[in-house]
Amino acid sequence: MRLCRFVLGDAHDDLGDDPGAVRLGAVADGAVIDLHAVDPSLPRDLVELMREPGGLDRVAHAATTSTTTRPLDRVRLLAPVQRPAKLLGIARNYAAHAAERGGTLADDFPVFFNKQTSCIVGPHDAILIPAASDQVDYEGELGVVIGRTARNVERDDALAYIAGYLVVNDVSVRDWQRRAPTMTLGKSFDTHGPIGPWLVTADEIADPQSLRIRTWVNGDLRQDASTADMIFDCATQIQVLSTACTLEAGDVIATGTPAGVGAASDPPRWLRPGDTVRVAVDGVGVLENPVHRAT
């Protein structure tokens, strides 16, 4: 399934609901199946749903019985996961990207960082260039969403803890990122965590290490790689993280970006107001966001 959160895009929608109400949907054939039309008691947040025993089963049942659909162009998609307990990223997880940024940070161990969850926005929401810096960069990534409590997980079992996948743009303010070894501030500016456009459940992705990932800025292809090129694959990342801390349902892991970031160009190609960033992960979806100046 492709699960989304949405609001109606038209105050005069002919299906007659409150356009401001957040709803859960399943995306199929260019339309959104309205899950609340058949089960109004469903949570309106995917994190809450995943923490509910049998929550995804309830959604699957609603998706097969609902006859209420919304054309995709008549809804506004929201971030599929709005306030996870954790939004974690991994630094320099593709060899070519590590090389363009000056080498790996650790030869035999992954380097993780936090993005504050207040940075999360959804598809088509604006990425804002802050007054504090003009060194704003894109990073197209595959995102992993944890489906159940994970603690001290063995690598061979790790994929069973994944609820699904989404597309992430790990927007980064490079000068702020360099100011502290944690990188957190440079990764956490408001609007610098676009995710979406929906959550593709894990059963739809046979192998998360065989997906093509691409990023365009204004139609110019900047990144083009395969998730097979990760230094630390998704299962290893879950193993390491769950050894240190409990991963909870809804937690998001941004699994690293390939080569081709703006900071690696000479001169650097920072994002500018008026740009559009498009990130595609085959089998998962396309995440597109405009770039505006913060006011």
Q: Is the pLDDT of residue 259 over 80?
A: yes
- What tokens does 250 get? 């809804």
Mean pLDDT for 50-56 is 87
- Spatial contact of 5 and 24, defined as CB atoms under 8 Å apart: yes
In this predicted model, which residue has the larger pLDDT, 11 or 44?
44
Q: What is the DSSP string of 83-118?
A: S-S-EEEESS-BHHHHHHTTS-S-SSS--EEE--GG
Measured CA to CA, the distance from residue 113 to residue 214 in angstroms comes to: 23
Mean pLDDT for 150-178 is 97
Q: How far is CA 120 from CA 7, 66, 117, in A?
A: 17, 29, 6
- Spatial contact of 31 and 47, defined as CB atoms under 8 Å apart: no
- What tokens does 8 get? 């109606």
Mean pLDDT for 139-163 is 97
pLDDT of residue 36: 87
28 forms beta bridges with 31
Q: Is the pLDDT of residue 231 over 80?
A: yes
Mean pLDDT for 159-187 is 96
Q: Is the pLDDT of residue 108 over 90?
A: no
- Tell me: the pLDDT tens digits for 26-50? 999 899 999 988 888 898 889 998 8
In this predicted model, which residue has the larger pLDDT, 53 or 189?
189
3-state secondary structure of 230: strand
Mean pLDDT for 177-191 is 95
The gap from C-alpha 54 to its chain's centroid, in whole angstroms, comes to: 23
Mean pLDDT over all residues of the chain?
A: 93
Q: Is the pLDDT of residue 68 over 50?
A: yes
Residue 118's pLDDT band (cuts 50, 70, 90): very high
**Least confident range of 48-52, 162-166, 202-206:** 48-52
pLDDT of residue 66: 81
Q: Is the pLDDT of residue 216 over 90?
A: yes
Measured CA to CA, the distance from residue 189 to residue 87 in angstroms comes to: 13
Q: What structural domains and CATH numbers belong to the chain?
A: 2-78 (no CATH), 87-293 (3.90.850.10)
Mean pLDDT for 134-160 is 97
Q: Is the pLDDT of residue 22 over 60?
A: yes
3-state secondary structure of 9: coil
In this predicted model, which residue has the larger pLDDT, 44 or 166?
166
pLDDT of residue 15: 45
pLDDT of residue 10: 55
Residue 17's pLDDT band (cuts 50, 70, 90): low
